[in-house]
Structure 1
Amino acid sequence: MKIGIVSDSHGDTNALDQMLAHPAAQDVEGWFFAGDIAMDAEYLAMITQLPVAKVAGNNDWPYTTLKDAIVTEAGGHRILLTHGHLYGVQFSTEMLVQVAEAQQADIAIYGHTHVADIQPGGVMVLNPGSIARPRDASKGSFMVADLLPDCEPVVKIIRI
């Protein structure tokens, strides 16, 4: 199963359109939206007609009823999805990993820092960076991940 991972669009649907036009996004079977701005996840679902797992970010409060974190399954993997601001990810992903382990998740997806990152390990930690306001490059980023049961995910950072 191929999933797309995106975060921190901050209302920039043009950036989401550019992402969706990228060849790497063409055969995605579902999206994970790690917050900021919740309405953008609705836009993504409407445009793609694909399932979109979504959580609230720090800029969504108090305007959404979305949860701060969810655990779901895809491609034989258990995934913790959160924006990350409540787990101190701007300093370390240690607390995020502990929460993922407690939830028996083998993948943790977060946003908030606007910096793309892949951390392999017992819990693979993924941050797609920001599609609209990157802090680690001049171009926005998203991720695609190929998920197969009992296999290490194959994850790529894509710049638009």
Structure 2
Amino acid sequence: MKLGVISDIHGNVAALDAVLADAAGRKVEKMVNLGDICSGGLFPRETADRLMPLEFPTIRGNHERQLSTHALDKMGLSDRHAAMTMLPEQRGWLAALPATLRLFQDVLLVHGTPDCDLTYLLETVDETGIRPATTAEIERRIGDIDASVILCGHTHLQRVVRLDGGHLIVNPGSVGLPAYDDDRPYAHVAESGSPHARYAILSDDGHGWTVELIAVEYDWEQAARDAEANGRADWARALRTGRV
């Protein structure tokens, strides 16, 4: 079994197409999507058009929740762009997505943590910035979850952590936005360091899951120009460099 894991597309349909083509070339049998799908500085409507017919197992991220619950004048730039460009049926699709999803018996899909779409699972933010979370922090965040595999997104940073208790936790990185800054709970930046589109493949040959973290080339210069055309110079730098 080969399971492809995508997350944090953020409306970058060119990066999404590159990842889906790469996964097909690697004979991935099933794809799952961990949320933050359309909101961003690029192509929300086109991204929804690409994904909805594929019917991947999909959960919502914080941006889907915000898009569904916040008034337009309370939205940030990325959610507002999605709200103003997407069709009603597309927004309805996003609004209906579950917060978490159990895939098979032993695989759990979450966006942030099992309990919160805004909390990082594998990273911790404090007054000094962002750092890898300690084992104790991760264990506290997953609580008594019995799934042996937890797939998470939100930070846009590829990581694999195996806990002594048997949990395998995988963040596939971001398909569509390789760097961003945030001020919650403290000011910090998350940077992948290159402009590649990222995803993960989990393989199970009957002896347990193995993980491959993958970075895919695509035309990120054109994506950066598209972001600039939409008034998102901040996105253009991130798309070109993987840095804020």
TM-score (norm 2): 0.55
Instruction: Report the alpha carbon displacement of residue 104 of structure 1 after superposing the two structures with TM.
Output: 2.0
Question: Where does residue 146 of structure 1 map in the other structure?
Answer: 203
Q: Which amino acid aligns with 1:9?
A: I
Q: How far apart, CA to CA, are the structure 2 residues paired with 1:70 and 1:56?
A: 10
Q: How far apart, CA to CA, are the structure 2 residues paired with 1:59 and 1:146?
A: 29
Q: 2:64 matched to 1:60?
A: yes
Question: Where does residue 106 of structure 1 map in the other structure?
Answer: 148
- Alignment CA distance shift 1:32-1:96 (3 Å): farther
Runs of 4 or more consecutive aligned structure 1 residues displaced over 2 Å after TM superposition: 38-46, 87-90, 92-98
Q: Which amino acid aligns with 2:8?
A: D
Q: Radius of gyration: which is bigger?
A: 2
Instruction: Report the alpha carbon displacement of residue 25 of structure 1 after superposing the two structures with TM.
Output: 3.6
Task: Work out whether residues 41 and 54 of structure 1, in 8 Å CA contact, stay in contact via their aligned partners in 2.
Answer: no
- Alignment CA distance shift 1:109-1:60 (3 Å): same
- Alignment CA distance shift 1:118-1:37 (3 Å): same
Indicate the structure with greater strand content.
1
Q: Which amino acid aligns with 1:67?
A: P
Give the secondary-structure state (helix, strand or coil) at the position aligned to 1:113.
coil
- Note the aligned Cα RMSD (angstroms): 2.2
- Identity value in percent: 29
Q: Which sections of structure 2, spanning at least 5 residues, go unmatched?
A: 39-43, 69-94, 125-132, 179-190, 217-244
Residues 94-149 of structure 1 deviation map (CA, whole Å, 9 limit, x = unaligned):
34432xxx342000000000000011231100000001112213122101111244
Higher relative contact order (CA 8 A, sep 6+): 1
Q: 2:9 matched to 1:9?
A: yes
Q: How far apart, CA to CA, are the structure 2 residues paired with 1:119 and 1:96?
A: 14
Question: Where does residue 220 of structure 2 map in the other structure?
Answer: none
Q: How far apart, CA to CA, are the structure 2 residues paired with 1:44 and 1:144?
A: 18
From 215, 226, 231, give the equivalent of 1:159. Answer: 215
- Alignment CA distance shift 1:17-1:152 (3 Å): same
Give the secondary-structure state (helix, strand or coil) at the position aligned to 2:57.
strand
From 132, 142, 166, give the equivalent of 1:97. Answer: 142
Q: Which sections of structure 1, spanning at least 5 residues, go unmatched?
A: none
Q: How many residues align?
A: 149
